[in-house]
Amino acid sequence: MGERSVKLPDIGEGIAEAELVEWHVKEGDLVREDDLLATVMTDKASVEIPSPLAGEVSWIGARIGDAVAIGSTLVKLKVAGDDTSEPADEAPTEDVATPSAVTNAKTPDAVPTPPARIRPAAIEARPATTSAVRRTPGEKPLASPAIRLKAREAGLDLRQVHGTGPAGRITHEDIDAFLSRGPAPTHGRGMAPKTAVTDVKVVGLRRRIAEKMALSKSRIPHITIIEEVNVSPLEDLRATLNRKPAPEHPKLTLLPFLMRAMVKALTEQPALNALYDDEAGIVHEHAGIHIGIATQTPSGLVVPVVKHAEARDLRDCSIELNRLAQRAREGTATREELTGSTITITSLGALGGLATTPVINHPEVAIVGVNKIAIRPVWDGTQFVPCKMMNLSCSFDHRVIDGWDAAVFVQRVKELLENPATIFVDP
């Protein structure tokens, strides 16, 4: 038996390391050639590493969440043969694993990356020195305001605590003793406090999202404008267009209308369709309008991109939007479909609140947030009438976008949505 090393291969130009997000094997497992060993993640894509040969896993070189340098040893395999002299750091080039061609197109949401969970050790049961006290319904335990505050902060129901003070008054020592011995069986409607703590390691896509959000908030001074939009005419038009949808055309949602309105507004204000290189101090204004659509997937938030929205009509925007969202949720979107946005839309649909403060998708300079539609009374000059109202929450990079320009953009989008026929009129 000999021992051979499998190293992390070159998985992309300019990539020096990758994050280990999943092991498919453990020490002692027998693997065949092309069996999956591990999954690693780069900036936007996850790559599965297959085994270049058959053998038994004798050593694993990293833990989930570790950054692994290109060329470093992932695993060591015991293989059949007489060559036992090969050290781990001198593995021949033919032993280097190559990423599977099928999995190169996988995105972070395609690979389940269960976070490492460190479960607390079992707490040894301690004998109770006093039993939980029963009180009649509606009877309040005797305790001072300071005691009640302490109980609230500990998530403790005072009805479960036996008071040893005068007339059964609860003292600090009573609370400390109760917490130290753990919860007692509950009676009636009271619930025992929960004291277990689960540590969840932030890895994979969740770590990428955390890093992206931290970068955006630390570097970009956000200015957010929230504007109310009457979408009753737009909703009427949308309902009309959806009455006889063709099989190849999905039903229209509000987003394709918003995309077309943004295209018209950005054509008038190209400075908002831009990426800001804050290291070089350069704003790259793009002629092509590539709209990212923040999409929730089982693995986390990703942003597929509708490329060249300026060249698409309403139906084409809708078809491409649905195609990308489906691929993102299934985990089959390519790196090209998840990169290259110049401005982003974020929407929580019916779950959205009245207003939000969207975080800009760095290095973009603007993001448009869609909030839920609600029927509200609107004064038309003579009376209040029920209208379908929706708030737009738009954030801008205040380093390069002045408040006036931001307000002009929001008002232009509002005007187009409130008068949807103008979306289809060429300037």
Which one has a higher pLDDT value, 237 or 10? 237
Catalytically annotated residues: 398, 402
Average pLDDT for 221-225: 97
150-180 maps to CATH 1.10.10.10: no
Q: State how far the Cα of 345 lies from the Cα of 258, in Å rounded to an integer.
A: 9
pLDDT confidence tier of residue 107, bands split at 50, 70 and 90 = very low
Q: Does the pLDDT of residue 134 top 90, yes or no?
A: no
**Those residues with Cβ within 8 angstroms of residue 193's Cβ, 6 or more apart along the chain or in another chain:** 154, 155, 156, 157, 179, 183
Quick one: pLDDT at residue 126?
Answer: 35
Quickly list DSSP for 253-289. -HHHHHHHHHHHHHHH-GGGSEEEETTTTEEEE-SS-
**Using an 8 Å Cβ cutoff, are 110 and 331 in contact?**
yes
Q: What is the mean pLDDT of the chain?
A: 82
Q: Does the pLDDT of residue 65 top 50, yes or no?
A: yes
Average pLDDT for 60-78: 89
Environment class of residue 269 by beta-carbon count within 10 Å: exposed (0-12), middle (13-18) or buried (19+)? middle
Q: What is the pLDDT of residues 247-273, one digit of tens each?
A: 777 899 999 999 999 999 999 999 999
CA 49 to chain centre: 25
Quick one: pLDDT at residue 426?
Answer: 77
CA distances for 383 relative to 14, 108, 358, 380, 386, angstroms: 64, 52, 34, 6, 10
Q: Does the pLDDT of residue 60 top 60, yes or no?
A: yes
Q: What is the pLDDT of residues 276-323, one digit of tens each?
A: 999 999 999 999 999 999 999 888 899 999 999 999 999 999 999 999
Q: Does the pLDDT of residue 156 top 90, yes or no?
A: no
Q: What is the pLDDT of residues 95-106, one digit of tens each?
A: 434 333 333 433
Q: Does the pLDDT of residue 122 top 50, yes or no?
A: no
Q: Does the pLDDT of residue 161 top 90, yes or no?
A: no
Indicate the pTM of the whole model. 0.65
Q: State how far the Cα of 211 lies from the Cα of 206, in Å rounded to an integer.
A: 9
Which one has a higher pLDDT value, 145 or 376? 376
Average pLDDT for 229-250: 89
Q: State how far the Cα of 292 lies from the Cα of 364, in Å rounded to an integer.
A: 10
Quick one: pLDDT at residue 18?
Answer: 87
Which one has a higher pLDDT value, 170 or 350? 170
| CATH node for 222-423 | 3.30.559.10
Q: Does the pLDDT of residue 87 top 50, yes or no?
A: no
Mean pLDDT highest for which of 12-21, 89-98, 171-180, 295-304? 295-304
Average pLDDT for 156-167: 82
Quick one: pLDDT at residue 105?
Answer: 37
Domain map (residue ranges) of the chain: 2-79, 150-180, 222-423
| CATH node for 2-79 | 2.40.50.100
Quick one: pLDDT at residue 118?
Answer: 26
Q: Does the pLDDT of residue 410 top 90, yes or no?
A: yes
pLDDT confidence tier of residue 387, bands split at 50, 70 and 90 = very high
- Could you give the angle at the alpha carbon of 222 between the alpha carbons of 216 and 225, nearest 5°? 135
Which one has a higher pLDDT value, 149 or 369? 369
Q: State how far the Cα of 206 lies from the Cα of 300, in Å rounded to an integer.
A: 7
Q: State how far the Cα of 36 lies from the Cα of 99, in Å rounded to an integer.
A: 10
**Chain position carrying tokens 């925007």:** 317
Quick one: pLDDT at residue 193?
Answer: 60
Average pLDDT for 41-61: 86
